[in-house]
C-alpha cells in the first residue's frame, strides 16, 4: 500500500491550523480558559480514533483507501459545521456555578468539536496501521504538515477575519481528501472532483463570514445595547480581535478609579475592545491639556508628582491613555511600548485626528514590541517606567487570567525594570483593588524580593503604595524616598482622598482613612511582607500571593485549595467572586480528560477479541504514555522558556512551535536508519534538556542585546537538536510494534494521543506548582522510563497533537494580555 504522505501532511496542517483557529474563535465568543478546556477535550477525538480503529481494525484496513478519503473529506466539512452548530449552544461560562444546565451545554460543545478531530485522527491512525513500512515517513509528514499548518494559520489570521480563515481550513481538509484519492490510486476522476470541491464548497457554504459574535455578557455586547453605540471597525490578527466602538449619545467617560474629588467630565472617547472584552479608551485630544485634568486624579498620576519633566517609558501603551497622562504632566520624552501593531495603527493612523496625533508627536516614540523584551534590550535609563493597567476589572476580579503566563510582573521582570531606572527614577505599577487584597499584595511582595535580590538592605525605604477606591499604585524608587518625597506622596493622596498604605515612616493610624476597609488589610499586608515573618504571612494568607517568577510566571493565579471550601460555603452570601476560576477550570479539564482517556484506553482491551499481543500491554502503555507526557512537557516548557528570548510573543508560536514540529518531523524521518532501541536519542534529549536548563538563564541574559534578526536563528538552532531527537522515539516504537504486534498499533496510537492531551493540561498545572524547570526534569524522567519500556526491539515521539493545547493557548493569551 503506498503511504498517503502528502495527504497526511495536509490533514495535519489543517488540524493544527484548526486548533489555533478555534482557540482564536472561542476566545472571542467566550473567555480564554473555557476555550482552552473545550479544545483540549475535543482533541481527545484523536484518542477515540485510536480506540475505534483498534476495535474495527480489520474491516477498516480492508477498505483503507476509501475510508481514508471519506474521513479526510468529513474532517473538512465537520470543521466548519461543528463550529457553526457550537455557536448556537447557549453556554454561559459565568453561570457555570449557578446553573445545572451549563455543564450539559459544555458537554455538548465538547461532543460537537470532537467530531472533526475524530475524523482527522482516523486518517492518521489508519495510515499507521495500513502502511507499516512507512511509519517514520508518515510521522514525519504528520509533524512537517503541522509545522506548515502553524505558519499558515498565523498568516491567515493576519489576512482574513477568523471565520473566513475557517473556510480555508475546510478547503485544506478536502484538499487532503483529493490528495489521498490520488496517492491511494482511487482514480484521477475522484481526485479531480474532490479538488474541485475543495476549491469551491467551503467558500460557497451558507454560513456567516467575518467575526463570530461574542457572548452576551462580554463588555462589547453589553455596550452595543446602549442607544447610538455602533461598531466603527474591526481589526483581526493572531493577537486578538480589536473592535472600535463609538457611543455618541452616552459617552464612555472611561477613567478607572477616578478620585471622587474630581470635577468635570473626560473628553469624548472611542472604545477599543480586545476580543469583545478588555476595554481601552481612545481619548480625543485637541492639544488642550486642560481637558485632560482628570488624568491627574487617578492613582497612576502619583509618580509625576515626584519627578520633574521625566523621560518616561510606558509599558502596554494600548490606545494611549498613559501616554496622554505623561504628556499632560510635562514629560520631557515618552517612549511607548505596545505589543499589538494594529492597536498602534488605530491611534497613529486611522484615528490620528481624533487622538490629536499623540503617537506622532516628536516627543513620543512608539515601539511595537513585547514589554519585557524591550526593556531587556534597551540601553536607555528612564526617570519613570509606567506599567499600564490593561486587563479589565471584571475579568481580573473573576480570575479569568489566572492561568495566563505573564512575564510582566515576575521578580526578574521587576529587577529588569529597576536596572533601567536613573538614580532617583521610579517604577510605577497600577493594579485593580481586589478585596481582600490579592494583586496589590502579590505585587508588593514581588517588589520586596526584587529589591532584595538587587542587594537592597531596606526595601521598605524604596516603596510606596497608594490606594484609591478602585485602583492601587505601587512605586519603587531607585534610591530611598526622602522625607520630602513622602510628604508629597501624602499630599497627593490626601488631595484625592486616596489612602497612603505604605511609604517610609508611615504609621498605621495614617492609613485606611479615606476609603475605609473593615481592616487595614493593605497596610498590614505591606508591613508583614517587609518583615521577617514574610514567608509565614504568605503561607497563612488565604490566597496565593507568593511572588511570581520567570519559572512560575502565574501572577494572576491566586487560587488556594484550602480556601475553596470556605468560599463555596459563602456562595449564598455573595462569596463566589472570591473564587478564582482559572485554576479550578484547569483541574476540571484535567479530571475530565483523565476520565475520558481511561475509558478510551481500557475500552479496546475489554471489547477487543485479539489474543494477548507479543509485546506485554503494560510495556506498550508505559512507552507510549511516557512519550505522550514527556513530549508535551518539554515542548510546552521550552516554548515558555524560549519565548523570553524572542522579541514578540507571536514568534514564540510561529518560530518555537513551528521549529519544534519541523525538526521533530525531520528526526522522525531520520530515525528510519536507526537500529535497536531508543537509548541514543533519549540520552541526547536528557543531555540537551539538562544543559539548556543550566545554561538558559545565562543565555537569555547574554542574548537580549542581540539584534532580532539573530535571535530567531539562535532560538531555532537551540530547538533543532532537541526536537530532532524527540521526533525519533514515537515512530521507532510504532515501527517495532508494527512488526511484533501489529494489532496493538492503533491502541498505542490512542494512548499517545490521549496522554498528549492530558500532558498539555498537566504541564500548566505542574508549572504552577513546580515551575517550568520542574516540568522539564519530570519530562526527562519520563523519557528515561520510555527508553526502558521500549516495546521489545525498536525505537520513538508523539503525534501532531504535540502542537496542541498550550501553543494555541498562547496565541490567544497574547491577544488578551497585550503586554
Partner 1 sequence: MTYFAGFILLAGAMLLGVPGTTFADAADSYAVPRARLVREIAAMAAQDQAETGKSISPRVMEALARVPRHKFVPVEHEQRAYENRPLPIGYGQTISQPYVVALMTDLLQVKAGDRVLEIGTGSGYQAAMLAELTDAVFTIEIIEPLARRAEATLKNQGYGKVQVKAADGYYGWPEHAPFDAIVVTAAASHVPPPLIQQLKPGGRMVIPLGSAFMTQQLMLVEKDGRGRVLTREILPVVFVPLTGKH
Which stretches of the chain bind partner 1, using CB under 8 A?
92, 94-95, 98, 216-219, 221-222, 225-227, 249-251, 253-258, 260-265, 392-395, 397-398, 433-437, 469-470, 497, 514-519, 521, 537, 540-543, 562, 566, 570, 572-578
The residue (of 578 and 758) whose beta carbon lies closer to partner 1 is 578
Quick one: which of 48, 3, 57 has its CA closest to 613?
A: 57
Contact criterion met (CB below 8 Å) for 476 and 447: yes
Residues in a beta bridge with 427:
385, 476
Neighbours of 230 (CB within 10 A): 11
Q: How far is the CB of 342 from partner 1 (least distance, A)?
A: 23
The residue (of 266 and 817) whose beta carbon lies closer to partner 1 is 266
Helix ranges (DSSP H) in 548-581: 564-569
CA 537 to chain centre: 30
The residue (of 329 and 438) whose beta carbon lies closer to partner 1 is 438
Contact criterion met (CB below 8 Å) for 188 and 182: yes
Q: How far is the CB of 817 from partner 1 (least distance, A)?
A: 18
Q: CB neighbours of 698 closer than 8 A, spacing ≥ 6?
A: none
Contact criterion met (CB below 8 Å) for 280 and 319: yes
80: left (phi > 0), else alpha (psi -120 to 50), else beta? alpha
The residue (of 98 and 679) whose beta carbon lies closer to partner 1 is 98
Residue with cell 492597536: 343
The residue (of 256 and 796) whose beta carbon lies closer to partner 1 is 256
818: left (phi > 0), else alpha (psi -120 to 50), else beta? left
The residue (of 563 and 610) whose beta carbon lies closer to partner 1 is 563
Please give the grid coordinates belonging to residue 321: 491613555
C-alpha–C-alpha distance, residues 615 and 594, integer Å: 25
Q: CB neighbours of 430 closer than 8 A, spacing ≥ 6?
A: 299, 300, 387, 388, 389, 471, 472, 473, 474
The residue (of 217 and 670) whose beta carbon lies closer to partner 1 is 217
The residue (of 161 and 436) whose beta carbon lies closer to partner 1 is 436
User: Which of helix, strand or coil describes residue 204?
Assistant: helix
The residue (of 392 and 476) whose beta carbon lies closer to partner 1 is 392
Q: How far is the CB of 256 from partner 1 (least distance, A)?
A: 5
Q: How far is the CB of 521 from partner 1 (least distance, A)?
A: 7
Q: How far is the CB of 155 from partner 1 (least distance, A)?
A: 34
Q: How far is the CB of 794 from partner 1 (least distance, A)?
A: 53
The residue (of 397 and 752) whose beta carbon lies closer to partner 1 is 397
3-state secondary structure string across 755-789: HHHHHHHHHHHHHHHHHHHHHHHHHHHHHHHHHHC
Contact criterion met (CB below 8 Å) for 435 and 518: no
Q: How far is the CB of 152 from partner 1 (least distance, A)?
A: 35
Q: How far is the CB of 620 from partner 1 (least distance, A)?
A: 47
Q: How far is the CB of 70 from partner 1 (least distance, A)?
A: 41
The residue (of 746 and 817) whose beta carbon lies closer to partner 1 is 817
Q: How far is the CB of 334 from partner 1 (least distance, A)?
A: 23
Per DSSP, 305 falls in state G
C-alpha–C-alpha distance, residues 328 and 288, integer Å: 9
The residue (of 558 and 692) whose beta carbon lies closer to partner 1 is 558
**CA–CA–CA angle 369, 22, 177 (5° rounding):** 120
Please give the grid coordinates belonging to residue 325: 497622562
Inter-CA distances, 376 with 76, 631, 648, Å:
44, 30, 13
Please give the grid coordinates belonging to residue 287: 492639544
Q: How far is the CB of 231 from partner 1 (least distance, A)?
A: 15
Where b means 16+ CB within 10 Å and e means fewer, 416-425 reads bbbebbbeeb
Instruction: For residue 436, say if its preceding peptide bond is cis, omega within 30 degrees of 0.
Output: yes
**CA–CA–CA angle 41, 42, 47 (5° rounding):** 85
Q: How far is the CB of 524 from partner 1 (least distance, A)?
A: 9
**Cα-only R_g, the chain:** 27
The residue (of 88 and 249) whose beta carbon lies closer to partner 1 is 249
The residue (of 187 and 531) whose beta carbon lies closer to partner 1 is 531
The residue (of 90 and 676) whose beta carbon lies closer to partner 1 is 90
The residue (of 8 and 281) whose beta carbon lies closer to partner 1 is 281
Q: Which helix (H) or strand (E) holds 746?
A: helix 745-788
Torsion, CA 221, CA 226, CA 229, CA 233, rounded to 10: 0
Please give the grid coordinates belonging to residue 358: 499623540
CA 303 to chain centre: 32
Q: How far is the CB of 129 from partner 1 (least distance, A)?
A: 48
Helix ranges (DSSP H) in 160-187: 162-183
Inter-CA distances, 167 with 19, 181, 198, 518, 690, Å:
14, 21, 10, 56, 43
Amino acid at each position: 500500500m503506498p503511504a498517503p504522505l502528502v495527504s497526511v501532511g495536509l490533514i495535519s496542517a489543517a488540524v493544527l491550523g484548526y486548533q489555533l483557529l478555534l482557540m482564536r474563535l472561542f476566545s472571542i465568543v467566550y473567555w480564554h480558559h473555557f476555550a482552552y478546556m473545550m479544545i483540549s477535550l475535543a482533541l481527545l477525538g484523536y484518542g477515540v480514533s485510536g480506540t475505534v480503529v483498534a476495535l474495527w481494525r480489520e474491516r477498516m484496513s480492508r477498505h483503507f483507501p476509501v475510508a481514508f478519503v471519506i474521513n479526510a473529506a468529513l474532517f473538512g466539512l465537520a470543521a466548519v459545521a461543528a463550529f457553526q452548530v457550537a455557536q448556537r449552544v447557549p453556554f454561559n461560562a459565568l453561570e457555570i456555578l449557578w446553573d445545572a444546565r451549563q455543564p450539559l451545554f459544555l458537554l455538548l460543545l465538547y461532543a460537537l468539536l470532537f467530531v472533526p478531530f475524530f475524523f482527522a485522527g482516523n486518517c492518521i491512525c489508519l495510515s499507521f496501521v495500513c502502511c507499516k513500512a512507512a511509519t517514520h515517513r508518515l510521522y514525519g509528514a504528520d509533524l512537517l504538515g503541522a509545522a506548515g499548518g502553524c505558519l499558515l494559520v498565523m498568516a491567515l489570521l493576519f489576512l482574513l477575519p477568523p471565520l473566513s480563515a475557517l473556510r480555508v481550513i475546510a478547503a485544506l481538509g478536502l484538499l487532503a481528501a483529493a490528495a489521498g484519492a490520488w496517492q491511494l490510486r482511487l482514480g484521477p476522476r475522484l481526485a479531480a472532483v474532490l479538488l474541485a470541491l475543495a476549491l469551491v464548497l467551503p467558500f460557497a457554504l451558507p454560513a456567516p463570514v467575518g467575526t463570530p459574535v461574542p457572548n452576551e455578557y462580554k463588555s462589547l455586547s453589553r455596550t452595543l445595547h446602549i442607544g447610538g453605540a455602533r461598531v466603527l471597525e474591526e481589526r483581526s490578527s493572531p493577537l486578538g480581535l480589536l473592535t472600535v466602538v463609538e457611543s455618541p449619545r452616552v459617552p464612555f467617560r472611561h477613567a478607572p478609579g477616578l478620585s471622587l474629588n474630581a470635577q468635570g467630565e473626560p473628553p469624548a472617547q472611542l472604545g477599543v475592545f480586545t476580543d469583545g472584552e478588555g476595554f481601552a479608551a481612545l481619548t480625543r485630544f485637541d492639544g488642550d491639556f486642560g481637558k485632560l485634568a482628570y488624568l491627574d486624579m487617578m492613582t497612576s498620576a502619583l509618580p509625576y508628582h515626584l519627578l520633574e519633566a521625566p523621560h518616561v517609558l510606558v509599558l502596554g501603551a494600548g490606545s494611549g491613555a498613559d501616554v496622554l497622562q505623561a504628556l499632560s504632566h510635562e514629560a520631557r520624552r515618552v517612549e511607548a511600548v505596545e505589543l499589538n501593531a494594529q492597536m498602534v495603527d488605530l491611534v497613529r493612523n486611522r484615528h490620528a485626528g481624533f487622538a490629536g496625533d499623540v503617537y506622532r508627536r516628536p516627543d513620543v516614540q512608539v515601539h511595537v514590541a513585547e514589554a519585557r523584551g524591550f526593556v531587556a534590550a534597551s540601553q536607555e535609563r528612564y526617570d519613570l517606567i509606567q506599567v499600564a493597567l490593561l486587563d479589565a476589572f471584571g475579568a481580573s476580579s473573576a480570575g479569568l487570567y489566572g492561568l495566563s503566563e505573564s512575564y510582566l510582573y515576575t521578580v526578574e521582570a521587576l529587577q529588569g525594570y529597576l536596572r533601567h531606572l536613573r538614580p532617583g527614577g521610579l517604577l510605577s505599577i497600577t493594579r485593580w483593588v481586589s478585596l481582600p487584597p490579592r494583586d496589590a499584595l502579590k505585587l508588593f511582595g514581588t517588589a520586596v524580593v526584587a529589591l532584595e535580590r538587587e542587594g537592597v538592605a531596606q526595601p521598605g525605604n524604596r516603596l510606596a503604595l497608594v490606594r484609591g477606591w478602585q485602583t492601587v499604585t505601587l512605586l519603587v524608587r531607585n534610591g530611598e524616598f526622602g522625607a520630602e518625597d513622602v510628604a508629597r506622596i501624602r499630599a497627593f493622596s490626601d488631595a484625592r482622598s486616596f489612602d497612603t498604605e505604605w511609604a517610609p515612616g508611615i504609621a498605621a493610624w495614617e492609613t485606611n482613612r479615606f476609603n475605609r476597609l473593615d481592616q487595614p488589610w493593605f497596610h498590614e499586608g505591606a508591613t508583614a511582607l517587609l518583615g521577617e515573618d514574610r514567608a509565614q504571612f504568605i503561607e497563612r494568607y488565604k490566597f496565593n500571593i507568593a511572588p511570581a517568577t520567570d519559572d512560575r510566571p502565574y501572577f494572576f493565579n491566586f487560587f488556594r485549595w484550602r480556601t475553596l471550601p470556605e468560599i463555596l460555603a459563602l456562595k449564598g452570601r455573595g462569596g463566589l467572586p472570591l473564587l478564582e476560576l482559572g485554576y479550578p477550570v484547569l483541574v476540571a479539564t484535567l479530571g475530565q480528560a483523565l476520565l475520558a482517556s481511561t475509558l478510551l484506553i481500557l475500552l479496546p482491551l475489554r471489547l477487543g477479541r485479539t489474543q494477548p499481543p507479543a509485546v506485554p500491554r503494560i510495556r506498550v502503555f508505559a512507552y507510549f504514555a511516557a512519550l505522550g507526557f514527556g513530549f508535551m512537557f518539554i515542548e510546552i516548557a521550552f516554548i515558555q522558556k524560549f519565548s523570553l528570548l524572542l522579541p514578540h510573543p507571536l514568534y514564540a508560536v510561529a518560530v518555537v512551535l513551528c521549529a519544534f514540529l519541523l525538526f521533530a518531523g525531520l528526526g522522525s524521518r531520520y530515525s528510519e536508519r536507526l537500529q535497536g532501541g531508543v537509548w541514543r536519542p533519549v540520552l541526547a534529549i536528557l543531555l540537551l534538556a539538562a544543559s539548556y536548563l543550566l545554561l538558559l538563564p545565562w543565555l537569555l541574559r547574554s542574548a537580549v542585546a542581540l539584534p532580532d534578526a539573530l535571535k530567531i536563528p539562535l532560538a531555532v538552532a537551540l530547538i533543532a537538536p532537541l526536537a530532532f531527537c524527540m521526533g525519533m522515539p514515537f515512530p521507532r516504537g510504532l515501527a517495532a510494534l508494527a512488526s511484533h504486534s501489529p494489532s496493538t498499533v492503533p491502541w498505542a496510537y490512542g494512548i499517545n494521543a490521549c496522554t498528549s492531551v492530558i500532558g498539555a493540561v498537566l504541564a500548566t498545572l505542574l508549572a504552577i506548582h513546580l515551575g517550568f524547570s520542574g516540568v522539564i526534569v519530570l519530562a526527562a524522567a519520563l523519557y528515561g522510563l520510555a527508553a526502558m519500556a521500549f516495546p521489545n526491539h525498536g525505537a520513538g515521539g508523539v503525534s501532531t497533537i504535540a502542537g496542541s493545547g498550550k501553543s494555541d493557548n498562547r496565541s490567544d493569551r497574547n491577544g488578551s494580555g497585550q503586554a
